[in-house]
Chain A
Amino acid sequence: MKRRDILFASLGLILVWQIAAMIVNRPILPAPVVVLIVFVQQLGKGLMIDFAVSLWRVTAGMLLSVAAAVPAGLAIGGSKTLNRIFSPVVYLLYPIPKVVFVPVVLLFLGIGDTAKIAVIFLILFFQIVVLVRDQAAGLSPHLIQSLQSLGAGRRALFRFVYLPASLPAILTALRQSIGTAVAVLYITELFATKYGLGYYIYYNGSTLLDYPAMYAGVIAMSLLGLGLYFGVDWAERKLCRWKFVS
């Protein structure tokens, strides 16, 4: 993604929004200019803090899920036995919309950040496990055998083959799940918190009926997602340079 293209896309969306606002002509859909002014004002009044809290929760969830799912995916993908035992488990749990567990997780982990991070973790964990597993299982046997003939045992194979080979899969999984993660973040922040963009949007939209402020929160959420996409793209260019050579 080029920055210029994102700028054009933003301008296009603002134009559509402007036209929609003129047609609807009700307080529930304020014009972009109004919202943008409120957005800047709100940044000083606490929206920044909500943004930071949400960013922390979603990033922590992403990092934790990578830390747990990558070894799990590599182990399952690298061993036929583990694959036979755990793949059915993964397939049984994967399709369950993890959002249904929000009340349960809240009950067990309390009302703090832990519960919110845990829900995001649950969702991302399965997506990353499946992609990393497939990547590890699909590695060419010649690659493995060549490394074995150079003396590599299990640990060296992990370090020199499985881990670097799964990096693109990890980043793909993260990129695919950013949208879901942010959507789930909103839902978890409806419960038992006074901070975060989810709370901010819900509070302004449904309690205060301050629509421009609510849309300012939506913009902040969109920027949060965009920032995460940029982060993953940046990491991919850094870590998978070989993917970008011609």
Chain B
Amino acid sequence: MIKIASLSFGYLNKALIFDDFNLSVQRGETWAILGPSGCGKTTLLYLLAGLKFPTSGQILIDGQPLTRPRPRTGLILQDYGLLPWATVRQNAELGSRVRDFYGPDGKHSPADHESKNNIDLWLKRLGIEEIADQYPSQISGGQRQRTAIARTLALQPDLLLMDEPFSSLDAITREDLQNLTLDLCAEQKLTLVVVTHSVEEAVSLGQKILLLNAPPNRSARVFENPNAGKASQRNSAAYRNLCNLLWKEMHHEAA
């Protein structure tokens, strides 16, 4: 699904963040990218989203090098990127309105794009149909995140990228939404890549966990976590062990 080949990236006049970095992600996997702040995890997500481009090397998605945001990739950023002047419904519809605006040009929207209104289904699936006519300022953080998810999934992506999606939510809402996200990924057969600074979140969401170092990142350190998302997982010893291991690795890196 995703193939990162000899990726190098650095911001102008700054040291490289990625130097000859390789990684490959299989379709349907859930990945968590974990690391301390400044390690380049958000940068990697932007590279995958086609909003930033490698200094050298390549990122292939479905065999195609990225030159711009890919129509079948969904991106959800930290503050959800909702339009404050649009209602929940209008925000959720935004993707299809953008696509209708361009028509099926194969560049801004998929070449097989057809205008259709499936938004009510998504509002219902995410439990926000009751607040469909409210504005983002009137709803809770969890509801905003649900709106952002509805907006992204309505475009039927096959790859979902999320940047610290649940970090500003309270613990219960966070766990709810983590479970919902995993359910939706399984249901829609999505590949998921979540960036997080929280070890627990990485272990709850990622079947594979990519730990990034202080830059430059030269090789990918990947931790296997096949039980991610299973209901029994959070109380298991394996879960706590992996958390402890990652915690130590992260602090070791920082020191």
Residues of A within 8 A of B (CB): 140, 142-143, 145-153, 155-156, 159-161, 164-165, 167, 240, 242, 245-246
Interchain CB contact under 8 A, A149 and B85: no
Bound-state CA distance A140–B83 (Å) is 10
Pairs A–B under 8 Å by Cβ, sample size 15 = A142-B77, A142-B79, A145-B51, A146-B75, A146-B148, A148-B69, A149-B50, A150-B94, A151-B69, A153-B107, A156-B101, A156-B102, A159-B101, A242-B135, A245-B135
Bound-state CA distance A159–B45 (Å) is 26
Q: Which residues of A contact B75 (CB under 8 A)?
A: 145-146, 149
Interchain CB contact under 8 A, A160 and B74: no
Interchain CB contact under 8 A, A160 and B94: yes
Interchain CB contact under 8 A, B79 and A140: yes
Bound-state CA distance A156–B137 (Å) is 23
Interchain CB contact under 8 A, A142 and B85: no
Interchain CB contact under 8 A, A151 and B137: no
Bits for B125-165, please: 1 = Cβ < 8 Å to A, else 0. 00000000011011000000000100100010000000000
B184 to chain A: closest CB distance in Å?
Answer: 18
Q: Which residues of B contact A240 (CB under 8 A)?
A: 85
Taking chain A's interface residues, is the majority helix, strand, or loop, or is none over half, making it mixed?
Answer: helix
| Of A140, A143, A155, A242, the contact of B137 (CB 8 Å cutoff) | A242
| Of A151, A165, A245, A246, the contact of B102 (CB 8 Å cutoff) | A151
Q: Which residues of A contact B81 (CB under 8 A)?
A: 140, 142-143, 145-147
B218 beta carbon closer than 8 Å to chain A: no
B49 beta carbon closer than 8 Å to chain A: yes
Interchain CB contact under 8 A, A160 and B98: yes
| Of B50, B69, B71, B85, the contact of A164 (CB 8 Å cutoff) | B85
Give 18 A-B pairs besides A149-B51, A156-B101, A164-B86 with Cβ atoms closer than 8 angstroms.
A140-B79, A140-B81, A146-B77, A146-B81, A149-B50, A150-B69, A150-B155, A151-B98, A152-B98, A152-B108, A156-B102, A156-B108, A159-B101, A160-B98, A164-B85, A242-B86, A242-B137, A245-B137
Residues of B within 8 A of A (CB): 46, 49-51, 69, 71, 73-81, 83-86, 94-95, 97-99, 101-102, 107-109, 134-135, 137-138, 148, 151, 155
Bound-state CA distance A151–B70 (Å) is 8
Q: Which residues of A contact B80 (CB under 8 A)?
A: 146
Q: Which residues of B contact A245 (CB under 8 A)?
A: 134-135, 137-138
Q: Nearest chain-B residue to A151 (Cβ)?
A: B108
Bound-state CA distance A167–B85 (Å) is 10
A35 to chain B: closest CB distance in Å?
Answer: 44
B253 to chain A: closest CB distance in Å?
Answer: 27
Q: Which residues of B contact A246 (CB under 8 A)?
A: 138
Bound-state CA distance A240–B137 (Å) is 13
Q: Nearest chain-B residue to A146 (Cβ)?
A: B81
Interchain CB contact under 8 A, A160 and B85: no
Q: Which residues of B contact A149 (CB under 8 A)?
A: 49-51, 69, 73-75
Bound-state CA distance A51–B148 (Å) is 51
Q: Which residues of B contact A145 (CB under 8 A)?
A: 46, 49, 51, 75, 77, 81
Q: Which residues of B contact A153 (CB under 8 A)?
A: 102, 107-108
A242-B135, A246-B138 known; A161-B83 Cβ under 8 A: yes
B167 to chain A: closest CB distance in Å?
Answer: 14
| Of A143, A155, A156, A167, the contact of B83 (CB 8 Å cutoff) | A143
Interchain CB contact under 8 A, A150 and B95: yes
Q: Nearest chain-B residue to A165 (Cβ)?
A: B85
Interchain CB contact under 8 A, A150 and B138: no
Q: Which residues of A contact B94 (CB under 8 A)?
A: 147, 150, 160
B46 to chain A: closest CB distance in Å?
Answer: 8
A171 to chain B: closest CB distance in Å?
Answer: 13
Q: Nearest chain-B residue to A153 (Cβ)?
A: B108
Q: Which residues of A contact B99 (CB under 8 A)?
A: 150-151
Q: Which residues of B contact A143 (CB under 8 A)?
A: 81, 83
Q: Which residues of A contact B109 (CB under 8 A)?
A: 151
